[in-house]
Structure 1
């Protein structure tokens, strides 16, 4: 079982006939960890979502969507606070920009539930959930405790710079997570914001593998045995919302299929196995980019 922890929120996305703020904005369910959980469920990987979600109509709809994706929700905490909103702007190439409304929202009040169920194989964390207090400290406690219990920790920082007022403080915190992280997944833009560190330095700090997304140029995995890369999969891009989250989910699902959801499993993957994992993630992301909003593909769509 893979546990995905973090925020669920409402993306307000420009309507199909408008790509600027003057057009109608349509609600779509999102939040990077939420997208990862939905994508994992659609790919057939046993998944639980760990979060605090509102009891408002948005929250109810998002919980229902998790259930429809076969994601287990017994670890979801509920509260009367409103759902977080993200207003999405689309650039001409379909890439997304975000503005967030987070004050007093449900996911910020997440409380550490204590040790996760015994069948937990891996824990995926990241994005706003590790930035916005008081919930960030609770998720951080989960990260360190579950790593100590032998679970693989997969981290996607998915930097939202506008919500990080103290960059130096965040960088110190990020470095403190790395010894307990088995898989670090990030974009080339994240890497640049984090200081442009060489992946080798991050590997030395703890992760067994670092996977970097490079938009249409594909993915590259950095391991102690050396880098492995695959090209992007050509597609007609509608928007890039949820593409990185789909990559994160597809990596975990394919690693699970290879029996590699452990530090030793990651370290033991051969180059051709890594190319299979990365290629699967690239194909899944391309399918997400070909339709509006964060709508990851199902296992059947990927021929599974």
Structure 2
């Protein structure tokens, strides 16, 4: 199927979240000093894609509060097209992050009634226009009332675009049963399912990773990529599998690493000419190359504080230009 939009253009649909971190250098017995950083899985993915040079449009619902100004500034400065996003009266979503000694982040969300979940069918009409790929997932796909409406629009987008989904499971905010009940429908719409090993343990409890991949292939998704942290990534293309290994990286924190991986994967698949179709011509060699590139983008994100993905020039200088890429990153 031919592309209907700009070659390689990607629309990302989902939430922006203010990631709130303690600043230990300013905190003391009289109180905590907090720092707000713009984040949210879909927004992070859009930023990473645009910085890599992919034409990227973000469909989000922006509040009129201070946090929304922060979101817009970051996305716009990264080169993301915001013309189809929505101005909303509801508040922004907040996530308070706790980092452990290894840099792993755990979040407490403040999201009830937030702007990100109030999508209408009219607003979502933009999601089905003029892109080779539609990427979505995370909380926007499971939070009501907007989640069911986004799910409905995936079928329309699929008529002319590759559909990519990252479930980004948040079990403390949304019951795992909600994800498990909806996942077969997502797989029926998705060409690409990118998720973490931790997500797999929640979505397919008791199943091995390969067994889970086969289940999701049978439900309709041809490409499943499971990131394994420092062990690399498991790639499964219609049951043909390869594990892409990971080189060492000095981790500052892992905030946004999975989102950067997704962006690197989609960016490279676009460069290889595979987006805009059902991935019928995609080979295991091509997707392995794309995942190697994706992992290096994630590694660069892990090497700095917060969700701060690299720019294209930085990626080229530090990891080498494709197709002669070193092995996998974070």
User: Is the CA contact (8 Å cut-off) linking 2:128 and 2:156 kept in structure 1?
Assistant: no
**1:12-51 equivalence runs, <5 A:** 12-15=20-23, 17=25, 24-51=33-60
Q: 2:293 aligns with which of 280, 297, 300?
A: 280
Counterpart residue number, 1:162: 172
User: Is the CA contact (8 Å cut-off) linking 1:36 and 1:246 kept in structure 2?
Assistant: yes
Does residue 8 of structure 1 match 2:21?
A: no
Compute the TM-score of the two structures, normalised by the length of structure 2.
0.86
Does residue 208 of structure 1 match 2:208?
A: no
User: Cα RMSD (Å) of the superposition?
Assistant: 2.1
Change (3 A) 1:169 1:83: closer
Q: 2:93 aligns with which of 84, 105, 111?
A: 84
Structure-2 separation of matches of 1:100 and 1:39:
23
**What is the total number of aligned residue pairs between the two structures?**
301
Which secondary structure state, in structure 2, belongs to the residue aligned with residue 161 of structure 1?
coil
User: Is the CA contact (8 Å cut-off) linking 1:244 and 1:285 kept in structure 2?
Assistant: yes
Counterpart residue number, 1:150: 160
Does residue 124 of structure 1 match 2:135?
A: yes
Deviations 1:21-43 (A, max 9, x none): 98532111000000000111101
Structure-1 separation of matches of 2:168 and 2:129:
28
Which secondary structure state, in structure 2, belongs to the residue aligned with residue 236 of structure 1?
coil
Which secondary structure state, in structure 2, belongs to the residue aligned with residue 184 of structure 1?
strand
Deviations 1:57-115 (A, max 9, x none): 21012112111111111111012322110000111111110110012221121223225
Which secondary structure state, in structure 1, belongs to the residue aligned with residue 310 of structure 2?
coil
Counterpart residue number, 1:296: 309
Change (3 A) 1:18 1:204: farther
Counterpart residue number, 1:109: 118
Deviations 1:198-256 (A, max 9, x none): 20111111111000100011112101261122112321111100000001111100000
Unaligned runs of 5+ in 2: 1-8, 322-330
User: Is the CA contact (8 Å cut-off) linking 2:17 and 2:95 kept in structure 1?
Assistant: yes
Compute the TM-score of the two structures, normalised by the length of structure 1.
0.93
Which secondary structure state, in structure 2, belongs to the residue aligned with residue 4 of structure 1?
strand
Structure-2 separation of matches of 1:9 and 1:271:
35
Give 1:288 deviation, angstroms: 0.4
Unaligned runs of 5+ in 1: none
